[in-house]
Amino acid sequence: MEPAYPAFMSAPLQDLLQHLLEKDPAKRLRGALHVAAHAFFEGLDWSVMRSDPDPDVLEGPEKPPFAPGNSLNVEDPDEIGHFPDLPDVVVDPAAFPEGQWRYVSEQKFQEEVVWLLQFEEHEALQKKPSRPSAPSPEDAPSPCVSSNGPPSTSVAIR
């Protein structure tokens, strides 16, 4: 099975990848010199990379967009993972008047309410039985409520 290459890949790049991914080791493109001589790298001046005595000095016609620093911010390997004891920090609650920070965006509040209503409606539909069943006692009308008018006021008192 041959891999499918995206349309944006040039023919030389596809050929290079095909030769690098060759299953048969005898046919596979091997070695830096063979890879460097491939048509995909045509026009690349390998001698500039090989003969640069100091890669940290920016010289020549093509300068990189920035020069990274020479030093790394790394501790001694024995110090990695060691955290010095720090003094306890006491925070004064008066310095953070969080009551003044409260802000409610009307639009975000409305979006959240709409989302909640849609969620509750979705949940109700999920819980609804798929076939009709006998009404539950909770669905039965109250004996104190008349469908024709206001609630009945007749109550038996003993």
User: Which tokens hold the place of 25?
Assistant: 């080791």
The answer to whether residue 137 scores a pLDDT higher than 60 is no
**pTM for the full predicted model:** 0.34
Confidence of residue 64 (pLDDT cuts 50, 70, 90): low
143 CB contacts (<8 Å, ≥6 apart)?
Answer: 152
- Asked if 140 contacts 133 with a C-beta cutoff of 8 angstroms, the reply is no
Task: Average the pLDDT over each of 18-27, 99-108, 140-149 and give the range with the smallest value.
Answer: 140-149
pLDDT for 15 equals 92
Which tens digit of pLDDT belongs to each residue from 81-120?
666 777 777 888 888 777 777 777 888 888 899 999 999 9
